[in-house]
């Protein structure tokens, strides 16, 4: 169950279709067959639906989750032992903290790719190489990708990567990666959620760029409770025929106290470049690719890793083994008001570009409780409030926004 108020228009004077309650359900059923150690066959179906909403229940329309009735989420074959194997077919791809490649599972559909992936590991080192194209979510037909679409979209997307990982430098996990996205921006739009990898889609143009990055994360169990992490990414190439040069960074640290309730304090800062001139032939907007943004930049899903300054404070406690409590506070500024404010999906512009407006967008408070009474069942109950800032008031209605939800997941 979700309740959202002013999350899209920040206008209490208008009872928008997106100011509403709705119920969501998602059923997944997977079957794995492993006749020998070096061969695995896997298939997973999914049925996702939105109930009792006034907005259209078509995926992606007015922010709707919508309906995707009984479709194929994953279907792949994996050949080879654990240390070297190939996985071919429809599959989930998730790396690091999923800031650039993730399954986006807060969304009722999640994300999968039609992909071919090669995995190799040796000791404390591993590397993945893959080529893929993201799967479209469509309401009344089979979910497909650009690889199997009957030439309907003409997007011809290929997302490929080399992603390396090592734990050789104790206590850190260190990643290094090169990600390449090549896609056309078609003149025909297919209705549905497609998770495009760029924030600018001008029909008839093409995007082709590389993302080079590195990530580190320390294990607090090996640092006497201390946490340290960071990720840095640089992009170069073309987005919609514009020359792209962009950068993003994340840095964070915290401490886990060894006392009753296991309190945790954590602070982090997120930055992503924005475009300084929307009328020239260059673009500096960082492209968020295919992330899992929901847990990263506020639970209200108002921001993506684009055109932002975002400091955050987190506080967690565990009163008992079954219960976790979390309180987060985020502040948001636009890196450049010559660029847009982008929602969590990385493409929707919350307000028109307004050069000269104050760049302070606002602050968000998130409160979350998790409860696991028995092993298969996890219950989440959360509330979030967004305090609007000068940018919102300078660009239109500026009422605060609220978000409440309750969720239960059963895994078996």
Predicted confidence band at 127 (pLDDT cuts at 50, 70, 90)? Answer: very high
Predicted confidence (pLDDT) per residue in 354-404, tens digit: 999 999 999 999 999 999 999 999 999 999 999 999 999 999 999 999 999
Claim to verify: residue 207 and residue 86 sit in the same structural domain: no
Looking at the structure, do residues 171 and 69 belong to the same domain, yes or no? yes
Asked if the structure places residue 191 within a domain, the reply is no
User: Percent of the chain scored above 70 by pLDDT?
Assistant: 94
Residues 243, 115 within the same domain: no
Q: Is residue 298 part of a domain?
A: yes
Q: Which residue has the higher pLDDT, 62 or 137?
A: 137
Q: Is 206 in the same domain as 343?
A: yes
Task: State pLDDT tens for residues 304-335.
Answer: 999 999 999 999 999 999 999 999 999 999 99
Tell me how many domains the chain contains. Answer: 2
Q: Do 136 and 217 have their domain in common?
A: no
pLDDT (0 to 100) of residue 55: 78
Strands 113-122 and 84-91, sheet pairing: antiparallel
Residue 287 is predicted with a pLDDT of 95
Residue pLDDT, tens place only, 66-123: 788 899 999 999 999 999 999 999 999 999 999 999 999 998 889 999 999 999 999 9
Contacts of 161 (CB under 8 A, 6+ apart): 95, 101, 128, 129, 130, 177, 178, 179, 180
Residue 306: partners with Cβ closer than 8 Å, 6 or more residues away:
199, 248, 272, 274, 285, 286, 287, 288, 342, 346
| 6 within domain boundaries | no
Has residue 361 been placed in a domain? yes
Q: Which domain holds residue 115?
A: 23-142+159-186
Looking at the fold, whether 217 and 124 belong to one and the same domain comes out as no
* Residue 234 confidence (pLDDT): 99
Flag whether 372 is in a domain. Answer: yes
Give the span between the Cα atoms of 281 and 55, in whole angstroms.
Answer: 38
Dist CA 399 CA 214 (whole Å): 39
Cα–Cα distance list, 230 to 51, 184, 185 (Å): 39, 32, 32
Residue 9 falls inside a structural domain:
no
Is 94 inside a domain boundary?
A: yes
User: 318 and 409, same structural domain?
Assistant: yes
pTM here? 0.95
Question: Does residue 133 sit in the same domain as residue 220?
Answer: no
Same domain, 30 and 121: yes
- Regarding whether 173 and 206 lie in a shared domain, the answer is no
CATH of the domain at 255: 2.40.160.100
Q: Is residue 70 part of a domain?
A: yes
Whether residue 255 is found in the same domain as residue 373 = yes
pLDDT at 116: 98
CB 19 within 8 A of CB 6: yes
What is the model's pLDDT at position 146? 80
Chain segment 259-310, per-residue pLDDT in tens: 999 999 999 999 999 999 999 999 999 999 999 999 999 999 999 999 999 9
Neighbours of 228 (CB within 10 A): 16
Q: Are residues 112 and 206 in the same domain?
A: no
């Amino acid at each position: 169950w979700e309740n959202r108020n002013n999350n899209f228009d920040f206008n209490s004077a208008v009872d928008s279709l997106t100011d509403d309650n709705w119920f969501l359900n998602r059923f997944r059923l997977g079957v794995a067959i492993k006749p020998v150690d070096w061969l695995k066959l896997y298939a997973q179906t999914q049925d996702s639906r939105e109930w009792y909403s006034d907005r259209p229940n078509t995926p992606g329309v007015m922010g709707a989750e919508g309906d995707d009735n009984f479709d194929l989420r994953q279907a792949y074959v994996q050949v080879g032992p654990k240390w070297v194997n190939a996985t071919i077919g429809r599959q989930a791809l998730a790396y690091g903290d999923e800031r650039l490649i993730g399954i986006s599972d807060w969304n009722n559909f999640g994300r999968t790719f039609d992909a071919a992936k090669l995995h190799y590991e040796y000791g404390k080192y591993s590397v993945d190489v893959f080529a893929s194209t993201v799967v479209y979510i469509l309401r009344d037909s089979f979910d497909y990708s650009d690889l199997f679409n009957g030439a309907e979209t003409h997007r011809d997307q290929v997302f490929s990567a080399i992603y390396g990982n090592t734990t050789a430098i104790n206590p850190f996990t260190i990643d290094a990666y090169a990600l390449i996205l090549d896609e056309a921006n078609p003149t025909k739009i297919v209705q549905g959620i497609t998770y495009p990898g760029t924030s600018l889609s001008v029909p008839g143009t093409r995007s082709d760029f590389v993302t080079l990055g590195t990530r580190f994360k320390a294990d607090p169990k090996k640092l006497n409770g201390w946490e340290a992490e960071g990720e840095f990414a640089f992009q170069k190439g073309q987005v919609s025929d514009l020359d792209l040069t962009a950068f993003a960074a994340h840095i964070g640290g915290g401490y886990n106290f060894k006392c009753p309730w296991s309190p945790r304090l954590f602070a982090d800062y997120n930055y992503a470049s924005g475009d300084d001139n929307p009328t020239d032939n260059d673009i500096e907007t960082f492209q968020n690719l295919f992330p899992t943004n929901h847990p990263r930049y506020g639970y209200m899903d108002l921001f993506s890793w684009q055109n932002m300054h975002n400091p955050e404070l987190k506080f967690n406690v565990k009163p008992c083994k079954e219960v976790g409590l979390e309180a987060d506070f985020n502040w948001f500024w636009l890196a450049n008001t010559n660029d847009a404010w982008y929602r969590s999906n990385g493409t929707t512009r919350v307000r028109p570009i307004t050069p000269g407006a104050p760049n302070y967008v606002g602050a968000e408070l998130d409160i979350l409780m998790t409860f696991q009474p028995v092993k298969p069942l996890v219950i989440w109950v959360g509330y979030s409030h967004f305090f609007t800032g000068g940018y919102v008031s300078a660009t239109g209605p500026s009422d605060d926004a609220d978000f409440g939800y309750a969720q239960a997941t059963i895994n078996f």
